[in-house]
Structure 1
Amino acid sequence: MPDQPFADLFRDTEHLSWAPTAQVRERGRRRTRQTRIAAALAAVVAVAVVATGAVALAGGREGAPTPVLPATGSPTPSPAPSATSAAPRPSTTSTTPAAPPSSPSRTPSAGSTDPAIPAAAMLRLSDLPAGFTMAEDDIDGDWSLESVSIYCREAPTGTSNGRLAQRTVSFDSPTDRMIQRVVRFSIRDAALEMDAVRALFTDCKPRGATSSMSVLADGLGAGDESLLVGSDIEGVRSRWLVVRQGDLVAQVALDMDTTPKEARRYARPVAQRLCAGSDTC
């Protein structure tokens, strides 16, 4: 006799109508497709959710404001200005008396602005003894005091450095000839020129045993500086008057026997004429 559970199952299913096999298979296939589609949709939704969450997270990080650190101290308020400090100070006038104006110095600090030497700065016929005539042109020959430096065993530092302009004039008489040359320097170089002339006639040691050079007078009472220098080169004597007025230096070739007293008489008009070419007088 069959078991009771089996008998009950047989009784319940005895009168059931079973679906055909093809229909059962079709239902199985349909259910499988639905399951696969549902799984695919679930996967797509899951991916979309993950991507959306990542974008939202990234946007939240970029847009988040940078946290501000708390201040470690509070600003110290500036004190209000007091009535004493705000009040204007009364102006005071110095009671120190002004120094009296100094007397004009004969040693200028600046030279003339125009380097050209005017004719008025040169000697005129009225400054010389009667009988002279004037010829303003280029003077030939070794008449200047610099020419004697070739007779020195060891010539001192050369003169006439830094010339800015020069002018020459000559005066002739039946028995004599006088030549003047005026050179413009800077104030500093003009003073150095006078020192160089002194050095030439003091330090030069002539080659010949009978030759000599010397400063015959220093300070003839004219201009800022004035000299009378002379040479005796193998029996040939020469004399030169040198006068500085500001930035101008005048050199005058005189008679070979000119004395300091005679040179003083020429030095004064030379210095006065130089004032016409210098703003330092």
Structure 2
Amino acid sequence: MPDQFFADIYRDTEQLTWAPTEKVRERGRRRTRQTKIAATLAGAVAVALIATGAVALAGGREAAPTPVLPATGSPTPTPAPPATSAPPSPPPTSTTPTTPAAPPSSTSGRPSAGTTDPAIPAAAMLRLSDLPAGFTMTTGDVDGDWSVESVSIYCRELPSRASHGRIAQRTVSYDSPTTGMVQQVVRYSGGNAARDVDRIRAMFTGCVTGSTSSLSVLADGLGAGDESLLVGSDIEGVPSRWLVVRQGDLVAQLTMDMNSGPEDARQYARRVAQRLCAGTDAC
């Protein structure tokens, strides 16, 4: 019995038609020629590429970089975002109440800005050290016709008699064995302090009296305070003198000796203005 392998080949090729021998040889020769042509073309392409690279190097130009193909492996895992740290916890709140600092105390007697107390401090008045030796001091209202307003009744014509905006006043009398002086300090609201000085100046300048009386401004601008002047009157042979000094919203009147002149008034005006600074923020 024939071998099974050869029997299967015989069965599969029994019905095949074989090409003639010459035709099989022609197919082999044709395949050989095609293989040689493909090899020749591949060599020519390689030579051309080598020549092009050499020319590029000779011209000083860098060859184009070979593109890097993307990796075909597993994708690179995306890095996880950095962990954010939690915000710091606020410091614990103290349960101990904080005592506010006490405001600095004032020892000068001068009212601070914005104070609602219009009172005039004692430090704003003349002191005994500002006067010649032998004077004593008495506080409180003083009776009698001693102020500049007291002589206005002798004026037949008076430019202005009204005094507005008085909100506080303080009066002190100084006495010695030979003479006496009275000081009054008035605090005015708004700009009424300057208006009051203008009223006094106008009264002693424009007052029309009889033949036996006269009012006049003896000196104006004594170099003390915001304004300072010396005014005088002679009523039927009785002379009087007043020193008027304004410092901010305070106006001081000081009676002077009947023989006092501008130089005496200037010395007292400086002392009065300095003391007034204890009662106003204008200094």
TM over 0.5: yes
In 1: Cα distance, 2:115 partner to 2:157 partner: 35
- State yes or no: 1:243 paired with 2:245: yes
Report the secondary structure of 1:143's partner residue: coil
Which of 152, 166, 170 does residue 167 from structure 1 map onto?
170
Q: What is the deviation of 1:211?
A: 1.3
Query: For residue 280 of structure 1, what is the amino acid of its counterpart?
Result: A
Q: What TM-score do the two structures reach when normalised by structure 1?
A: 0.59
- Count of residue pairs brought into register by the alignment: 171
Q: Which ranges of structure 1 fall in alignment gaps of 5 or more residues?
A: 1-109
| Partner in structure 2 of residue 182 of structure 1 | 185
Counterparts of 1:212 and 1:197, CA distance in 2: 14
In structure 2, C-alpha distance between the alignment counterparts of 1:112 and 1:228, rounded to whole Å: 32
Larger % of helix: which? 1
Letter in 1 for 2:234: D
* Shift, 1:137, TM fit: 1.7
**2:169 pairs with 1:149:** no
2:199 maps to which residue? 196
Shift of 1:187: 4.2
Q: Which position in structure 2 is the counterpart of 1:271? A: 273
Residues of 1 paired with 2:115 and 2:154: CA distance? 35
In structure 2, distance between residues paired with 1:169 and 1:159: 24
In 1, Cα distance between equivalents of 2:114 and 2:232: 29
Distance 1:111 1:215 in 2: 36
Cα distance in 2 for partners of 1:187, 1:126 equals: 32
Following superposition of structure 1 onto structure 2, how do residues 1-281 of structure 1 map, counting pairs within 5 Å?
A: 113-207=116-210, 209-281=211-283
Q: Partners of 2:259 and 2:132 in 1: how far apart? A: 16
AA in 2 matched with 1:263 = A
- Report sequence identity in percent: 73
SS at match of 1:271: helix
Partner of 2:103: none
What TM-score does the superposition give when structure 2 sets the normalisation length? 0.59
Task: For 1:117 and 1:270, locate their aligned partners in 2 and report how far apart those are by CA, in whole Å.
Answer: 14
Cα gap change, 1:268 to 1:153, in 2 (>3 Å): same
Structure 2 residues without counterparts, runs of 5 or longer: 1-112
Give me the CA root mean square deviation: 1.4
